[in-house]
Amino acid sequence: MLRKHVLISPILSSFSYLPAPVNISYWWNWGSMARVTLVIQILTRLFLSIHYISDSALAFDSVIHISRDVNRGFMIRNMHANGASLFLFVIFIHIGRGIYYKSYNKIHVWGVRILLLIFSILTAFLRYVLPWRQISFWGATVITNFLSVIPWYREVIVNWVWGGFAVRRPTLTRFYTFHFLFPFLIAFFSLLHLVFLHEKRSSNPLRVSTRSLKFNFWPYSRVKDFNSFFLVLLRYTLIVIFFPVYLRDPENFIKANSIVTPIHIKPEWYFLFAYAILRCIPNKTIRVIALVLSILVLYLLPVLSKCSGFFYIKGTSFFRSLVFWSFSVNFVVLTWLRRSPVEYPYVRLAQVSSIFYFISLFLLGIL
């Protein structure tokens, strides 16, 4: 009976009476914020899908049609485009909070969380290609070419993803199909994440047992969620209304041209840290491995923590806090370096920052 309650309660989590630690702070609100942002993305995507045409000859014009001719189409499109940035930002903060407070010790909860990050990145990449613009087209060409490092059937895999021998109409159809399906997978794994979370219970800033000091999640903690919803969505609304194209590359307003290659291919800001790691390594195979490990290395944190339990200190030690904030600053530096030219000293700085990225995550796992 208890197990049945654990499985059903995440579905009604917004109105649940789940016992929660009394000392959880506003940093624990980002998970709820991610769910709200996901709902916004799914709804706006459904409206855009009504008018979008997944054809390389018509995709760009269909996006223009949505912005100019569809009633409030420009608003829905701006909400969806900037909502992707908001969703990834919320996910990054949510994972950063988990690293800082060692939430990765709850292995099942952490594993599903990183899986959500992977699906979110893939969905955002597919969305980036769909408008069929200059940077989008060449970004898709470059990234999908990295599949050629897979041994043996490398050309077969790349040609299957492309649907031919280059990024063309079949590629766009495949990307649109997966972009439509992935948000439902994200929603499913979000519910699975809540199932594990409600079974293992939430952690707290001190990482000590608060079994005798708990309160009902509703209404006490939910009030904090509402405060976060209001503040974050207010800023999101201001960006959508007043700065809708602030996060977009100017060259990405040009229709895709397979003959003219852009001077600088820059992805969205939430890909820049991984692309900086990719770009600073000369060997193609090693750079792809480093790109994949930049995300999958997060799965090693619970393993490192279990293998070095004697390092565990209740509360947050000064040295661990120093490593975490150095890691956060280095993450921003990697993002900035990817927007810099491919020349000295930016390439060398990116190599140093990439090494520090992996070393700092290793230290955060063992401390």
- Domains of the chain in start order, with CATH, are 18-259 (1.20.810.10), 268-367 (1.10.287)
Structure tokens at 130: 């769909």
Structure confidence at residue 220 as a pLDDT band (50, 70, 90): low
**Is residue 89's pLDDT more than 90?**
yes
Rounded Cα distance between 268 and 87, Å, is 13
Question: CB–CB of 23/206 below 8 Å?
Answer: yes
Which range, 3-7, 215-219, 248-252, 282-286, is most confident? 282-286
Q: What pLDDT is recorded for position 10?
A: 45
Rounded Cα distance between 117 and 101, Å, is 18
Structure confidence at residue 270 as a pLDDT band (50, 70, 90): confident
Return the minimum-mean-pLDDT range out of 128-137, 273-282, 306-315: 306-315
Q: What pLDDT is recorded for position 215?
A: 64
Q: What is the mean pLDDT of the chain?
A: 83
Rounded Cα distance between 329 and 333, Å, is 6
**Is residue 201's pLDDT more than 80?**
no
Total residues found in the chain within this entry: 367
Q: What pLDDT is recorded for position 8?
A: 46
Return the minimum-mean-pLDDT range out of 226-235, 258-267, 277-286, 293-302: 258-267
Query: What's the pTM value of the predicted model, to 2 decimals?
Result: 0.87
Which residues form the catalytic set? 198, 202, 224-225, 268
- N-terminal to C-terminal alpha carbon distance within the chain: 39
Structure confidence at residue 117 as a pLDDT band (50, 70, 90): very high
156-198 per-position pLDDT tens digit: 888 888 888 888 888 999 999 999 899 999 999 999 988 888 7
Q: What pLDDT is recorded for position 210?
A: 56
Structure confidence at residue 211 as a pLDDT band (50, 70, 90): low
Structure confidence at residue 4 as a pLDDT band (50, 70, 90): very low
5-60 per-position pLDDT tens digit: 444 444 444 445 566 676 677 788 888 889 899 999 999 999 999 999 888 888 99
Question: CB–CB of 31/212 below 8 Å?
Answer: no
Nearest alpha carbon to residue 218 among 38, 14, 37, 31: 14
Q: Average the pLDDT over 149-161 and give the result.
A: 83
Q: Which residue has the higher pLDDT, 340 or 215?
A: 340
323-362 per-position pLDDT tens digit: 999 999 999 999 888 777 777 888 889 899 999 999 999 9
Structure confidence at residue 82 as a pLDDT band (50, 70, 90): very high
